[in-house]
Amino acid sequence: MPEKKKRVAIIGAGAAGMSCASTLANHPDRFEVSLFDIASYTGGQATSISLDESRYSADWLNDGVQGGSPIFRHTFHFFRQYGYEPHPVQLQVAFGKGVDSFFTNMFPSPLVDELAPEIKKLGRVLKWIKRLLPILGLMPVKTILRLFRFSDAFANKMVLPIMALFLGTGNQTPNVSAALLERLFDDPNMKLWDYDPDTLLPNQPTMYTFPNLGAFYRTWAADLRARGVHLRLNTRVEILHRDARAVRLRPHPAHHDPASEPPPQEVRDNFTERYDELVLCLPADEAKALLGAHASWREKYVLSGVAFFNDVTITHSDAEYFNSLFETRYKPELCAKASSAAREDQIATARTQPPTCRADGWEGFAPMYFTHSFARDPAKIEMGFDCSNYQHQFRAAVGEGNPPQPPERHVYQTIFLNEEEKNLWTWESIDPDKIIHKKWWHQFGHRWQHYLRVVPGMMFINGKNRTLYAGAWTMVNMHEIACISGIAAAYRLGATYEPFDDFAEDLFSKYLMVSHGVRYKRSQ
């Protein structure tokens, strides 16, 4: 007699939900999968928007998740299964505005020379954090910087902007666990930079820009449907009952407003659906709200430990505004002295103006990521992206060996962090006629409490009451972690993890142990 299929409801069709559904769909004889999302599309925050190709040289832009580091093995594996390829880029960054605040990974600056003793000291402190990780690692970065007597200038102009930009921690960076600072430079699973005692950020790390995410997720969704997954978009879900035996749900049309119109017939008839397992691939606060009175005290404790903040990204072509905030071009006064052969080479490369296009970036100074601090509150920042310098489709249109498009034809993004601090924002200075798109995001902050309460607490709520959790918030805000978390939830339900890369398998096993308290059984 064939084994009865396990009915699984996955709520949330972002990277975590899609990964979970895809992994379960590898076993059509064992699982019947329903994937719900309130939105009309899959992908969650991994979205694309359309552009006027005649003006910007490309007809699409990834406007949320834009790229990742070489560690994104599971993400890339999913891309390649459907014929989408990530593109390598040698990343250039520019921090601060003006000689007193500017530094980059392209050449030495006066700020680097001014803070040279503290740069060297940071190397020693990183070693101490690693040695005493259970103690120092859980402390907030601001406490570590004060404890080791770093200056406010070093903290606000160098350390905090680096972490905010590359870890996505925004204006919560002072409250982030110091372990993330150490891992940014030292952990083989996370690091982007090799620490340099001279310039701190000496190299151009290889990053990858993502393919058209809107197209990719549509292709992925079509394949899941073809493989038997019941993909139910525009659908809101209500949890009616949850215990050790089963979960009962009631789906609603997402557009239904009970205050303005009568409920649909199926709701009036108390239509419900029974599932054997539930996977919540939602932000922690939304998961907690969905559970409502059904949440256990452990779930309430862990899920309440995740702090979320509302940010807004404005995509625009206002080059004048962007240049007023960030150092977008090489200037001799931004350069420190060529005191070594390595520095001479860096400065010579940066002097190449205008920069010329390469398949993997630019020859010359053409920054892609930017930050600047507020004079009124130096610990707070605004972030910007020159998407035309960064995303590969724009460089492909320029062609190798050619100079970039004129600044007014570039696509920029400025990210304004934490709606509660919008009195600091400069968004009113953007020319309204040059705004392409505006989008709000609900982002979690990597506060030190997150690594004391949430991350170690996940293993105590995962798998209880027929419920599993997945999403980047379970560990670190990365598309890769979202994918791994979805695969891990499927693995807990009995799906097989299919190894394809030793590094990826190792990262998956570590996540499974931390978030689920389960040891991964490697195939022989």
- CATH 3.50.50.60 applies to domain 6-46+213-306+448-516: yes
- Give the C-alpha separation, 25 to 224, whole Å: 7
394 pLDDT band (50/70/90 cuts)?
A: very high
- Give the C-alpha separation, 277 to 459, whole Å: 17
Query: What does the mean pLDDT of the chain come to?
Result: 91
**Helix (H, G, I), strand (E, B), or coil: what is residue 187?**
coil
Higher per-residue confidence, 498 vs 203: 498
Q: What is the pLDDT of residue 261?
A: 54
User: Is the confidence at residue 266, as pLDDT, over 70?
Assistant: no
Q: Read off the pLDDT of residues 116-153 as tens digits, 9 standing for 90 and up.
A: 999 999 999 999 998 888 888 888 989 999 999 999 99
How large is the average pLDDT for residues 475-496? 95
> Which residues on neighbouring strands pair with residue 208, listed in sequence order?
68, 88
- Give the single-character DSSP code of 148: T
- State residue 237 phi and psi, 5-degree precision: -120, 140
**String of DSSP letters for 65-116:** --EE-TT-HHHHHHHHHTT---EEEE--EEESSSTTT-EESSS--HHHHHTH
- Give the C-alpha separation, 17 to 453, whole Å: 24
- Give the C-alpha separation, 360 to 370, whole Å: 19
Strand 67-68 relative to strand 206-209, pairing: antiparallel
Helix axes 15-24, 479-492, angle to 10 degrees: 40
Q: What is the pLDDT of residue 182?
A: 85
User: Is the confidence at residue 1, as pLDDT, over 60?
Assistant: no
Q: Read off the pLDDT of residues 157-169 as tens digits, 9 standing for 90 and up.
A: 999 988 888 777 7
How many DSSP H helices and E strands does the chain contain?
21, 22
Query: What are the residue ranges spanned by the domains of the chain?
Result: 6-46+213-306+448-516, 48-209+309-444
Q: Which residue from 314, 316, 312, 315 is spatially nearest to 442, judged by alpha carbons?
A: 312
How large is the average pLDDT for residues 238-265? 77
Residue type, 38: I
User: Is the confidence at residue 495, as pLDDT, over 90?
Assistant: yes
Q: Please give the model's pTM, rounded to 2 decimal places.
A: 0.92
Q: What is the pLDDT of residue 134?
A: 80
How large is the average pLDDT for residues 499-520? 95
- Reported residue count of the chain is 524
Chain position carrying tokens 């599309």: 41
**Helix (H, G, I), strand (E, B), or coil: what is residue 506?**
helix
What are the angstrom distances between the C-alpha of 394 and each of 258, 399, 464?
46, 9, 47
- State residue 43 phi and psi, 5-degree precision: 115, -20
Q: Which residue from 179, 79, 171, 52 is spatially nearest to 421, judged by alpha carbons?
A: 171
- Give the C-alpha separation, 450 to 74, whole Å: 24
Proportion of the chain above pLDDT 70, given as a percent: 96
How large is the average pLDDT for residues 408-433? 93
Q: What is the pLDDT of residue 503?
A: 93
186 pLDDT band (50/70/90 cuts)?
A: confident
Q: Which of 64-78, 115-129, 406-420, 442-456 has the lowest mean pLDDT?
A: 442-456
- Give the C-alpha separation, 282 to 13, whole Å: 9
Q: Read off the pLDDT of residues 323-380 as tens digits, 9 standing for 90 and up.
A: 999 999 999 999 988 888 888 888 888 888 899 999 999 999 999 999 988 888 888 8
Q: What is the pLDDT of residue 200?
A: 87
User: Is the confidence at residue 268, as pLDDT, over 50?
Assistant: no
524 pLDDT band (50/70/90 cuts)?
A: very low
- Give the C-alpha separation, 394 to 413, whole Å: 14
Q: How far is CA 81 from the centre of its chain?
A: 22
- Give the C-alpha separation, 255 to 235, whole Å: 8
**Helix (H, G, I), strand (E, B), or coil: what is residue 412?**
strand
Q: What is the pLDDT of residue 329?
A: 93
